[in-house]
Structure formats: C-alpha cells, structure tokens
Amino acid sequence: MIKEKYITPVAIISIMLCVFLILAYPIINPNTKKNTLEISQPEYIDKLFDKSQVNEIDITVNEKDWEGLLENAIEKEYIIGDININGEKFSSVGIRPKGNSSLKMVAGDNTTNRYSFKIDFHEYIKGQTYYGLEKLALNNCISDATYMKEYISYEMFSNMGIATPACSYAHIKINGEEWGLYLAIEVMEESFIERCFGSADGNLYKPESTKTGGNPGASSGTSLVYNGDDLSNYDGIFDNVVFSTTNRKDNEKVIEMIKNLNEGTNLERYLDVDEVLKYFAVNTFLVNLDSYAGNLKHNYYLYERNGMFQILPWDLNLSFAGYQVRDGQSAVNFPIDEPVSDTMENSPLISKLLEVEEYKKTYHEYLSMIVTDYIESGEYEETIDKVNKLINDYVKDDSTAFYTYEEYQNSISVLKQLGVDRGKSIEAQLKGQQPSTSYGTIETTVDLSVLGSMGRPRENISPGQKTFDNGAQNEDEFKLKENVPREEPKGEIKKDDTKKQMLIISFISILILLLALVFAYKFKSWLS
C-alpha cells in the first residue's frame, strides 16, 4: 500500500508530467507552426506600420548620384543616402529602384520617374537597422487607381493567418521634392521570419525565373514540377536564396519536397497543408494571377523550417484581376477549383492538394469563411471606406500619381462591387449553382479598366490553358496552348492532423492532472 507521505510527491510529479507534455509538444513535433500572435512584435511594427496613420518619409541623396540612379534605373544599383522616417534620421542607407515589369514600364515612360524603391538599412553600415527592420520596400502603386489593391490583399492574407509582410502608407519626398503616396512594405528577410516564427531558423527562397521562351516556370523549377534531382534544373529557386546560410543539403530538401508533391505522397510531411490551402483560398478570391497561380510562377516565397514548407505572398499590386483577365465578368466568375491561368498539371502545389477530397473540402471551407466573415459581414467595404478616409487627401495632392484624383474616386465603388460580386460567385460555385472548373455566368457591372492594370490589352486566360507570357505587352506576343487534361486523382492521402494530435495530448494531460488531484485529495484517507 502506498504511504501517505508519497501521495503529494506523486501528485506533483503527475502535474509536472502533464505540463511537460503541453510545453514539449512543439519540440516533440517540430513541424508545429508557431502562432505569430503569441510572438512579441518588434519595435518597427508600431513605429512604421501603424495602419491608422500615413508615414512621412524624406530621402536625401547626392544630386549627381540621384541623376545616375534615374538614368540607369534598370540596373537596380544602390546609392548611398539618408532617410528620415517620421522625424527620425538614419544615415548612409542604401537606396535603389525595385521591380520587374513595373520597373520597365516606368523606365520606358519619359513622363515619370515614379519608381518603386528598396531601402537597405545595412547596405553601407553593417548591422544598422530601423528598430530591427533590415530592408523596406516603397511601392509606387502602379497599375492601381485605387491605391488599395495591394494593401487590402496583404490584409486578407494576414487575417487568414498567413505569415504576411507588414505594410502601411507613406508620403514620400526626395531631396525636398514631392514624390507622392507610396505603400511601405516590410521586406522578407531574417527580421520578417523572426517576427512571424519566433526565430530566423530555416531557409527562405524567392522563386523567380530569368529564362525566356517556352514556359519559364517549368524550365527553372519555379512551378515546382519535378524535373529530376539535378540542382541546376531548379535554378529559379536556388539562385534566389534569401539567407546566406542556405547550403546544398538545404536545397536537396526542396527537391525532396517537390518530388513527393508531384507523386502525391507524404504531403503533410513536407507541406504545411493547412497553410497552403489558406494561401490559395485568399489568392483565388483575389484572382491574383501574377503569382504562382499564373504562368510566370513568381511573386511568392517558399519558407522551409524543419523540412516543412509554406508558401508566402508577395507583390500583390496586380491582385483583383489586374493581370491576365479580360473583363469584370471573367474576374467575378473565375473558377475556384482550377484557380490558375497556367495548367493545373503545371501547378502541382494546388492541383495535387485538390486531388485529395479532404483537402479540397478544407479549401472550400476557407473560401466560404472569406465570403461570410469578410464580404457578407461588410468588413470588406468598411475597410475600403476606412482606407479611403485615411489617404484621400494625400491622393488628391499626389502630383506624381499614375491616375487622376477623379479616376481614384471612381475606382472606389468599382473595387467594392468587384469584391461583393466575387463573393456571390464563390458562394454559388461552392453550392454547385455555378461551374467551379470553368467560367460561370453571374452578371456584373464591374469595369476592370477603372481599377488599373498592366497597361496592355487584357487577355482572358481560361483555366487549364498553358501560357507563354514572358513580359509580353500586347496580344500578338501573348500565346496560349490547348488545355492539358488533368490526371485522375490517385486517391486520398491519410491526413496526419497536427491539430488533432495537439487536442489528444491536451486531453490526456488534463486527464492526468484530474486523476492526480483526485488521487491526492479525495482518496488520501483511503490510503492511510
């Protein structure tokens, strides 16, 4: 019989055991994603990314250096300068133009020098940051008469629980000259990963192909289509590593993930499936085809941590059907179950997940959540009104703007209508009232040209059509290939649900705790 003197120690040990199980779970299962809300935010978030205000940013550079930067913007070379953010000066920072097609558009337009810029706080002074922030992007809001498409898109990804760059508006002056209203965005570097995941562990890639002809995404690996184990077949990924510590062994993890993804095996071992489904739910709502969902397979990040991969959003200025969509009706009726302008075969990160009915159901639930919680609740329109109130006067006074103030005003109601009608279409597709793998027939008054676009004739890209748009600027350059049939699903994959595991362990821990308390107090007299 157990002695009374041992009862209390046994109870204490039992309690310690249940506490250990709860606290040790992230270590036992390293693939558990940290909740970013529980991680203390760095100081730069409050100082620079306060969404209730427009930041004042003054940049000062040598005039000769500045003229050289403008004349050779395509080279993206840094010049040294000082930056004053909301009255606080940081000296000797790096400043350069940024962007791809948008950069070329401004460079080719002799009426404007309104480039997007990247600020590197430690380009010239090692270790210098803006309260922990290493790099800052200043986006010029090109192709966006609303000034809001990118802002709202990032907010939607963030609301869905995706690790998303912080952003806010900024009024820019350069050498005392008005440069306009920009969107300031946190660049994805170590500071971003540490903010979102608690530490800068793992590896971060920014897939981007520089190849032309054929399909650049497939030929450089950015489509995540398996093309053997040769690292050179994936140079669009490995040539764009963010962390300097990434090595060959890390690269091999990427290929291992890609191989399993294409085979439809061990998906939850290599992918944060829930996160990927959330990403595509938001991306599909936004009809954001200048992304992995498009033929160029870019403007996204791959983050690997402990062998588990996530997809992260980037460069959203052409969301809300700003790219490869002909008109408002096509945007509203864009199909949710083939949400790409490339082929599904060439988009395994979404196609292989939707082959699994359980994942497809979860994806649909996230789409329904967006419609119910964001559109039908009125939050979407309220957000637009709130942002409009914040930036209206700045837009009115923006002398370098790509659109007139009147065009801005007209775009607001169209942006609202697009979101509302898109929500109606998605709801109808989810209920089987509209097709979900081809364009539906819901009518809309939305005129996409009012919102702004890439500055070329709009093309309507049917789901499942392979495209070869390597920066084409007109319809003659834009070619389509016939649909490629989708492979039949290879069957469901058993789901190793992390949430269920956590729930079970928590339940067991609570049970142990209760038993320990009962054992120690209720049955104490029985054992004496």
Torsion angles phi and psi, residue 139, rounded to 5 = -90, 135
Q: Which two tokens stand for residue 83?
A: 């930056």
Long-range contacts of 80-87 (CB under 8 A, 24+ apart): 80/123, 80/124, 83/57, 83/58, 83/59, 83/119, 84/56, 84/57, 84/58, 84/59, 84/60, 85/47, 85/48, 85/55, 85/56, 85/57, 85/130, 86/47, 86/48, 86/55, 86/56, 86/57, 87/56
**What tens digit of pLDDT does each residue of 247-267 get?**
999 999 999 999 999 999 999
Q: DSSP assignment, residue 389? A: H
**Res 474: pLDDT:** 37
**Res 453: pLDDT:** 73
Q: Which residues pair with 301 in a beta bridge?
A: 312
**Res 460: pLDDT:** 45
DSSP line for 418-434: HHHHHHHHHHHHHTTSS
- Largest Cα separation within the chain, whole Å, is 93
**Res 40: pLDDT:** 80
359 CB-near residues (< 8 Å, 6+ apart): 273, 277, 353, 495
CA count, 13 A, side-chain hemisphere, 305: 22
What are the angstrom distances between the C-alpha of 328 and each of 34, 86, 335, 417, 472? 39, 40, 14, 10, 21
Helix (H) or strand (E) holding 507: helix 498-517
Among 204, 206, 211, which Cα is nearest to 298's?
A: 206
**Res 156: pLDDT:** 99
58 CB-near residues (< 8 Å, 6+ apart): 83, 84, 172, 173, 174, 176
Instruction: List the chain residues with pLDDT less than 70.
Output: 1-38, 211-219, 454-507, 509, 511-528
What are the angstrom distances between the C-alpha of 341 and each of 270, 299, 438? 25, 15, 11
DSSP line for 312-344: EE---TTTTT-SS--SHHHHHT--SSS--SS-S
**Res 209: pLDDT:** 84
Among 112, 58, 130, 159, which Cα is nearest to 379's?
A: 159
Tell me how long the chain is. Answer: 528
Among 164, 187, 50, 153, which Cα is nearest to 451's?
A: 153
**Res 175: pLDDT:** 99
Q: Which two tokens stand for residue 117?
A: 């810029």
CA dist 156 and 149 (Å) reads 11
CA dist 44 and 185 (Å) reads 12
For residues 116 and 104, is the Cβ–Cβ distance under 8 A?
Answer: no
| C-alpha of 351 from chain center | 18
CA count, 13 A, side-chain hemisphere, 47: 14
Torsion angles phi and psi, residue 182, rounded to 5 = -120, 170
Q: Which two tokens stand for residue 74?
A: 């395509």
How much is the pTM?
A: 0.82
Among 20, 87, 33, 30, which Cα is nearest to 55's?
A: 87
Burial of 455 (0-12, 13-18, 19+ CB in 10 A): middle
